Structure 1
Amino acid sequence: MSAWRARAEHAEIVGGLLYDFNVEFEAPTPSAEVLAGRFARLLELDDVIVLITGSTADPTGFAYLTLRPTPFYDGPLAQLEELYVRPHRRDQGIGTVLLRTACDLVRERGAGEMHINVDEVDTDTRRFYERHGFVNIEPGTDYRMLCYLQEF
């Protein structure tokens, strides 16, 4: 099993996967069509990476990453914006393939680190990322990092 990089022509697939993800977890979401239109533009950018597993006819999951400049590293800072595997395909290693491929790609791009935001109550997802070496405690400290946001 492998993950492949989406291009603008795959925007409808990615928009549909993100829509399904949001609906499954009861998150507010634009329509799949609106998301596809936005991904058509985003997938043209060099600092946006979307990986898909499965085929164009039967996509099984996706990972959406952004890269941004940072003064702390020579390369960019990576943000894993979303990682989703269709419910009937979970526990088959698809998430691991997506995450490892994402890490490999951003390392190749010279990224200094990758950030991932996870809801505190989502213990399964937290365990998944921790199993893959991600932490929410800065080395040398004994307190958790938190993410704050404000919608505009």
Structure 2
Amino acid sequence: MAHPISIRSATVGDAALVGRLLWDFNREFDSPTPDGEFFARRFGVLLALDDVLVLLAEDAGDAVGFGYLTLRPTPYHDGPLAQLEELYVRPDLRDRGIGTALITAALDEMRARGVGEMHINVDEIDRDTRRFYERHGFVNILPGEDYRMLCYIREL
């Protein structure tokens, strides 16, 4: 990586690129996944919404990672709550600060939008990812508590 990483907001025109990156991410972990074309169609819709943000990390114009965030209203803050849905850096480029650049840009943008809180779901066995988020100030135990927060999911 000879060039500095740049971070920019994706547009609807980047839907296929973001779809391919998400497909790559899911395949890396052998997750059942729709194909990149499906994700491209979905991001074609999602990127047009005001409450969706995708940040692209680029090295000399080549996409090397992304962060996908959604916002929703909450009664706990004047501004919205943000959910970091996905954060991905190509495996061959990890440990070079790209993830940090993405999460920093995401936090800066969420602060600028008046977001009161950001949530992230991480698999318990994914220790490296958990350490990454903890280094950036995220917790799964609230101050003053002695138990972890958990996320429960039910497909409908």
Inter-CA distance 56–10: structure 2 relative to 1 (3 Å threshold): farther
Runs of 4+ in 1 over 2 A off after TM superposition: none
C-alpha contact (below 8 Å) 1:11/1:39 kept by paired residues: yes
**TM-score w.r.t. structure 1 length?**
0.97
**Amino acid paired to 2:55:** L
Structure 2 gap segments, 5+ residues each: none
Q: CA RMSD of the aligned region, Å?
A: 1.1
Corresponding residue number in structure 2 for 1:2: 6
TM-score relative to the length of structure 2: 0.95
Three-state SS of the structure 1 residue aligned to 2:153 is coil
Structure 2 distance, partners of 1:126, 1:29, is 23
User: 1:126 aligns to what?
Assistant: 130
Aligned mate of 1:41, from 37, 41, 45: 45
Residue 2 of structure 1: SS of its match in structure 2?
Answer: strand
The answer to whether residue 146 in structure 2 is matched with residue 104 in structure 1 is no
Give the superposition deviation at 1:139: 1.5
User: How far apart, CA to CA, are the structure 1 residues paired with 2:129 and 2:146?
Assistant: 21
How many residue pairs get aligned? The number is 152
Q: Could you tell me how far apart the structure 2 residues matched to 1:82 and 1:56 are?
A: 23
State the SS of the aligned residue for 2:8.
strand
* Identity of matched residues, %: 64
Measure the CA separation in 2 of the matches of 1:5 and 1:41: 15
Match of 1:148 among 146, 149, 152: 152
User: In the alignment, what sits opposite 1:61?
Assistant: 65
State the Cα deviation string for residues 87-125 of structure 1 (Å, max 9, x = none): 111011000000000000011111110000000000000
Q: Is the 8 A contact 2:26 2:32 kept in 1?
A: yes
8 Å CA contact retained: 1:52, 1:62? yes
Structure 1, gaps ≥5 residues long = none
What displacement does 1:37 show?
A: 0.3
Write the distance in 2 (CA, Å) between the matches of 1:8 and 1:46. Answer: 12
Secondary structure class of the residue paired with 2:87: strand
Are 1:89 and 2:93 counterparts? Answer: yes
